[in-house]
């Protein structure tokens, strides 16, 4: 099995690139984030021509997550039990069972600044996600993948000094990730196609991508039964190149399964 995760930063804007990438990479399951389309407006017809079923959870111009699968989509769930809102629930998580594995695509709140109410919301959201995942982990294999908007360690940002006092690197955010890992997940390391750091996000401004001034904030968490079957995992940096890319690169994982 091959699966992947990608924050596409607007599926409509990125559709030609997405379709080309799907045809070339051929993941069995793809977790998408920041689709930025209303419920029912996801380009399901276009991806179905490549053999994919679609489960979407949309919210117009903001947020939005989806799952694409060519190995089945069963027990689809939008959001999760106990999920907090801001003030209402947002389209930030969707899960389904694909070939016996529950895949969840997540777009964790950004947090904005540490003194913003959105930061408190982010921490509450991550705490509720952990609680909801307890039941899923007890039921069978689970993969949680997506844009976590947290760099797990200082090694996951191009310069820790540049992020001092900012969100994405604070102790409470990183501790929230550790509590999720404590359920029995493994943070699957993906090898970079270039350089020493498996960054997945580069700001559009100031040539950050070409200077490799990035962050590893797109993560893949898998339960031990899945982690034990990983043959390879790579950050597809090539997908971040060219005209009109997303500011994130996909992560592609191959399983011996």
Which residues are tagged catalytic? 107, 147
8 Å CB contact between 39 and 59: yes
Query: Which residue has tokens 């069963």?
Result: 74
In whole angstroms, give the CA distance from residue 229 to residue 224.
9
Of how many residues is the chain composed?
257
Residue environment code for 211-246, b if the CB has 16+ CB neighbours within 10 A, otherwise e: eebbbbbbbbbbbeebbeebeebbbbbebbeeeebb
Cβ-based neighbours of 199, under 8 Å, separated by 6 or more = 156, 158, 192, 212, 214, 215, 216, 235, 249
Instruction: Specify the DSSP element, H or E, that contains 191.
Output: strand 191-192
């Amino acid at each position: 099995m091959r699966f992947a995760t990608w924050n596409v930063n607007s599926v409509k804007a990125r559709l030609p690139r997405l379709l080309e990438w799907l045809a070339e990479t051929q993941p069995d399951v793809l977790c998408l984030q920041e689709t930025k389309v209303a419920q029912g407006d996801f380009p399901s017809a276009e991806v179905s021509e490549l053999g994919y079923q679609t489960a979407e959870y949309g919210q117009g111009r903001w947020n939005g997550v989806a799952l694409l699968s060519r190995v089945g989509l069963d027990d689809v769930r939008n959001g999760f039990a106990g999920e907090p809102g801001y003030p209402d629930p947002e389209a930030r998580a969707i899960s389904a069972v694909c070939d016996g594995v529950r895949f969840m695509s997540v777009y964790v709140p950004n947090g904005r600044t540490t003194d913003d109410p959105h930061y408190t919301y982010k921490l509450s959201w991550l705490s509720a996600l952990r609680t909801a995942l307890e039941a899923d982990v007890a039921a069978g294999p689970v993969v949680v993948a997506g844009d976590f908007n947290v760099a797990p360690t200082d090694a996951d940002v191009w310069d820790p000094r540049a992020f001092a006092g900012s969100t994405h690197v604070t102790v409470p955010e990183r501790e929230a990730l550790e509590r999720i890992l404590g359920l029995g997940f493994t943070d699957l390391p993906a090898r970079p196609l270039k350089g020493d750091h498996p960054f997945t996000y580069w700001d559009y401004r100031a040539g950050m991508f070409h200077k490799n001034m990035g962050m590893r904030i797109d993560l893949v968490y898998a339960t031990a039964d899945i982690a034990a079957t990983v043959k390879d995992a790579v950050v597809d940096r090539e997908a971040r190149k060219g005209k009109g890319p997303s500011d994130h690169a996909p992560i592609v994982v191959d399983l011996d399964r």
